Amino acid sequence: MQRTKRLFGKGIISNPKMVTQSQFSQIQFQAVLNKFSMLYNVMKAANFVDNAIVQLSNDGMKVIVEDAKSIQASAYITRACFSEFKLAIARPSSVADAPNNPDATLPFISFGLNLKVFTDCLSMFTSGDYDSSLKLIQKGTGAPLIVILEQHGEDDLITECSVRTMDPFDCMELDFEDEQQIVSKLNVKGMEFFQLLSEMDRNCDEIEVIISPDAPHLILHSFGELHSETSVEITNTSDMLITFNCTDASRNRYKFHHFRLAMRTLALASKVALRTNSEGLLGLQVMIENSDSSHIFVEYFILPLMSDGDQTTL
């Protein structure tokens, strides 16, 4: 990591001592965020494990973290968030001689990244009222991610960070692509949902989520130490609910610790989409408004402690 104080010429790395200057000849990824404080807040919230997978596609940037194969979070920084976004996806060598192969080009490129180191770099210019911008550069497979922070002002202070990348590792494949398995879809107001969870017993170990077509339509029931319990009932006429759709009643328990991890981004949310499927998989898609009216999305998948079939029938 090197810190300098100089004018920076049109995004060109002028420091010949940076390792990436001579090691890689072509830029694979280059993007600019004029204001990155929200990106920092989202990355810090998602940093409940050190290492993450970064996926770059023409739609934007996706950062995936997961813990103990029981919770996964994916942060989507859409292309609209960037004032500049350039991505060159190379064709794999295995299909280099097969131009008619539909799989000849990859839909995205991916690499592993230490998220704590990345957020530490971003934190340098997030304090104060300065007008700061962020530039990200990556020059190919195995190359570090170059983080260039520029604080605009009298001195035009520039910080360049070189963050090592790793080979991508396997993550759980979780989604709601099968619409027939989805049993409930709720859209809720972000701040109200965050406040509701904040009022639950912070010492509880588990939370039971009951969703039903019949009133009360949503019940959150927490279980804590010494058999302490709290319960909240919400009907589909509540001001907190934007939309409510439930085809089958479900009852599933989850670790409340996983909800605490999600609350780090729920505190920033304008809207939250909550979905459950027949296997008890819970999805929380958090929409966060950026300062320029673009959006960052963070999606959580939380696996149940017990499937609905293991619970008492409603």
Instruction: Render pLDDT for 186-207 as a digit per residue (tens, 0 to 9).
Output: 999 999 999 999 988 777 899 9
Average pLDDT of the chain to the nearest whole number: 83
pLDDT band (50, 70, 90) for residue 246 = very high
Domain-wise residue ranges, the chain: 24-164, 177-300
Q: What is the pLDDT of residue 312?
A: 42
CA 36 vs CA 49, 104, 148, 161, 314: distances in Å: 21, 34, 12, 15, 47
Q: Is the pLDDT of residue 103 over 60?
A: no
Instruction: Say what the pLDDT of residue 273 is.
Output: 96
pLDDT reported for residue 154? 67
**pLDDT of amino acid 144:** 95
Asked whether the beta carbons of 207 and 200 are under 8 A apart, the reply is yes
pLDDT tens digits for 124-178? 877 666 678 999 999 988 999 999 998 877 667 888 999 999 999 888 888 887 7
Evaluate if residue 91 carries a pLDDT over 60. no
Determine whether 57 is exposed, middle or buried from the number of CB atoms within 10 Å of its CB (0-12, 13-18, 19+): middle
pLDDT for 203 equals 78
Give the full edge-to-edge strand order of the sheet including 204-211.
229-234, 218-224, 204-211, 250-255
Burial 234-258 (b: 16+ CB within 10 A, else e): bebebebbeebebeebbbbbbbbeb
Please state which of the four CATH numbers 3.30.420.40, 3.40.1160.10, 3.40.1350.10, 3.70.10.10 is assigned to the domain occupying 177-300. Answer: 3.70.10.10
CB atoms within 10 A of CB 153: 11
Residue 177's φ and ψ, nearest 5 degrees, are -65, -30
> Using 50, 70 and 90 to split pLDDT, how confident is the model at 42?
very high
Write the single-letter amino acid at 130.
Y
Q: Does pLDDT of 90 surpass 90?
A: no
Q: How confident is the model at residue 268 (pLDDT cuts 50, 70, 90)?
A: very high
| Confidence label for 215 from pLDDT (cuts 50, 70 and 90) | very high
| 29 pLDDT tier (thresholds 50, 70, 90) | very high
* Residue where the block lists tokens 């001195």: 155
Residue 46 DSSP class: H
Q: What is the pLDDT of residue 311?
A: 47
pTM over 0.85: no
Question: Which of 5-14, 25-34, 95-104 comes out lowest in average pLDDT?
Answer: 5-14
Please check whether the domain covering 24-164 is classified as CATH 3.70.10.10: yes
